[in-house]
Amino acid sequence: MDTNGSTSGNGHETNGRAAVAEPPHYALLKEKIAILKKEREAVILAHNYQEGAIQDVADFVGDSLGLARKAQGTDAKVILFCGVHFMAETAAMLCPEKTVLIPDLAAGCSLADMIIPEQIRAWRAAHPDGVVVCYVNTSALVKAECDYCVTSTNGVKVIEHIPAEQEILFVPDYYLGSFLRAKTKRNIHLWKGYCPAHAAILPERVDRLREEHPEAEFLMHPECGCTTKQMDLADEVLSTDGMVQYVKRSPAKEFIIATETGLLHRLRAQHPEKAFYPASEHAPCHHMQRNTLEKAFMSLVRMQHVVTVDPKISERAVRPIERMLEIV
Ligand code: 13P
C-alpha cells in the first residue's frame, strides 16, 4: 500500500477498543490475493470504510476523491474497487479502457438512492437558472443530469468556483449541503437526502463523549446528521481522508471520530499510541460491509463483477466529475 494509505493492520487493534483477531484463513487469502493481483495486472483500491482485512491488501486506501484520482492515474489493466457502486462507476467512467470490478454488486449507497434523474429534471424546471451540483454519492444516471460534482473534500472550492450570483441546487445530501451553504454563504437549495449511517450519530452521544474526554479533538464528517447543530463545536469538519491527515498532524492524543466506524481501523493502525472514540458504535455502512475479503478474492478469481456505464450516459455523467477534477 502506498504512503498515503499505509496500514500495518494485523487485526489486533487496541487503542480505544478490544483486540479482534482475524479468522485464521485470512492470512492464506491475503497471500492468494497478492499472487492473483499480479497475474491479473490488477490494482486494489479500497475506501476508508472497508473492513480492515481489505484495507490491508489494498494498494491504496482513501476517500472518494483520492480513489477517483488513483483510478485515473493507474497503469493497471484491472481495478478491483473495494467500495460502493457509485465509486466503481466513477472509476469506470474515468477509465473506460480498464476493467473495473466490485466484490459485491449489491454494495450500493442509500444516500445515492434518494434521488433519481426525473426528480432532478423536475427541480431544474422549477429553477431554470439553477446550477445543479451533485455529491459524488450519486448514480451515473443522476450525474448525467448535473453540472458539477463535489466530494466531501472539495465542496467549498467547487461552489466558490461557480459565479456568486448563481442559484445552486444541491443533491442529494442535506447535511453536506447545509455545511457548504454555511461555509460559502451562497444561495443553495437543498435536497433532503441523508446517509443512514451518519444519521445514527446523535448530538447527545457526542456531547457525552466530549464531557468524558475533554482533551479529545472532535472530528466530524459533513454527512453527519448532527452537522447543523454541532458544526460550531467540531474542531474540524472533514472528509475521511481529511481526518487521516488531520490526526497525523495533530499533537492531540485522543480523538472523537464522527463518521462510519470502518475508518477507525486505519487510524488505529497508523497511530497505536493515540485513542479514537467513535461518535457512534452504530454507524457501520451496511453496503460497504457487503464487500468481504472472500468476495474480493473471488472477484479476482472469476473477474467478477464488472461495473460498466452505458457510453451515452457516461459521456454526460463524466462531465461534472471532470469539471470538479479541473478545479481541485
Ligand atoms: P469520503 O469521500 O469522505 O470518504 O466520504 C465518502 C462517503 O461515501 C461517505 O459516506
> What does the pLDDT look like over 85-105, one tens digit per residue?
999 999 999 999 999 999 999
Residues 21-49, mean pLDDT to the nearest whole number? 95
Evaluate: CB of 173 within 6 angstroms of ligand 1: no
Evaluate: CB of 89 within 6 angstroms of ligand 1: no
% of the chain residues with pLDDT over 90:
82
Residues in the chain: 328
List of residues 6+ apart from 261 with CB closer than 8 A: 278, 280, 281, 283, 284
Evaluate: CB of 299 within 6 angstroms of ligand 1: no
Which residue has a Cα nearest atom 8 of ligand 1? 137
User: Which tens digit of pLDDT belongs to each residue from 145-159?
Assistant: 999 999 999 999 999
Which residue has a Cα nearest atom 6 of ligand 1? 64
pLDDT-derived band of residue 7, with 50, 70 and 90 as boundaries? very low
Q: What CA–CA distance (Å, rounded) separates 304 from 325?
A: 29
Extract the C-alpha cell encoding 223: 454527512
Evaluate: CB of 63 within 6 angstroms of ligand 1: yes
Evaluate: CB of 144 within 6 angstroms of ligand 1: no
Buried b (16+ CB within 10 A) or exposed e, 192-225: ebbbebbbbbbbebbeebbeebeebbbbbbbbbb
pLDDT at 226: 62
Atom of ligand 1 nearest to the CA of 65: 2
C-alpha 228 to ligand 1 mean position (Å): 18
Residue the block writes with cell 452521544? 205
pLDDT-derived band of residue 230, with 50, 70 and 90 as boundaries? low
Atom of ligand 1 nearest to the CA of 64: 2
Whether residue 323 contacts residue 149, with contact meaning beta carbons closer than 8 Å, is answered with yes
Question: Comparing C-alpha atoms, which of 235, 263, 229, 239 is closest to residue 251?
Answer: 235
Ligand 1 pocket: which of 48, 158, 198, 280 to mutate (most atoms <8 Å of CB)? 48
- φ, ψ for residue 240, nearest 5 deg: -60, -40
* Beta-sheet strands, E only, within 57-216: 60-62, 78-82, 99-101, 131-135, 148-150, 168-171, 188-190
Which residue has a Cα nearest atom 9 of ligand 1? 223
Q: What CA–CA distance (Å, rounded) separates 192 from 275?
A: 34
Alpha carbon of residue 63 to chain centroid: 5
Question: Comparing C-alpha atoms, which of 103, 94, 99, 111 is closest to residue 50?
Answer: 103
% of the chain residues with pLDDT over 70:
91
Which residue has a Cα nearest atom 3 of ligand 1? 239
pLDDT at 151: 96
Ligand 1 pocket: which of 61, 63, 149, 259 to mutate (most atoms <8 Å of CB)? 63
Extract the C-alpha cell encoding 79: 481495478
User: Which tens digit of pLDDT belongs to each residue from 261-275?
Assistant: 889 989 999 999 999
Ligand 1 pocket: which of 151, 176, 243 to mutate (most atoms <8 Å of CB)? 151
Q: DSSP letter at 50?
A: S
Longest dimension (CA), the chain: 59
User: Which tens digit of pLDDT belongs to each residue from 129-185?
Assistant: 999 999 999 999 999 999 999 999 999 999 999 999 999 999 999 999 999 999 999
Evaluate: CB of 152 within 6 angstroms of ligand 1: yes
List of residues 6+ apart from 47 with CB closer than 8 A: 61, 62, 63, 64, 67, 82, 83, 84, 87, 240, 262, 288
Q: What is the pTM of this model?
A: 0.91
Q: Report the chain's mean pLDDT, rounded to a whole number.
A: 91
Q: List the domains of the chain with CATH numbers.
A: 26-107+288-302 (3.40.50.10800), 112-194 (3.40.50.10800), 197-278 (3.40.50.10800)
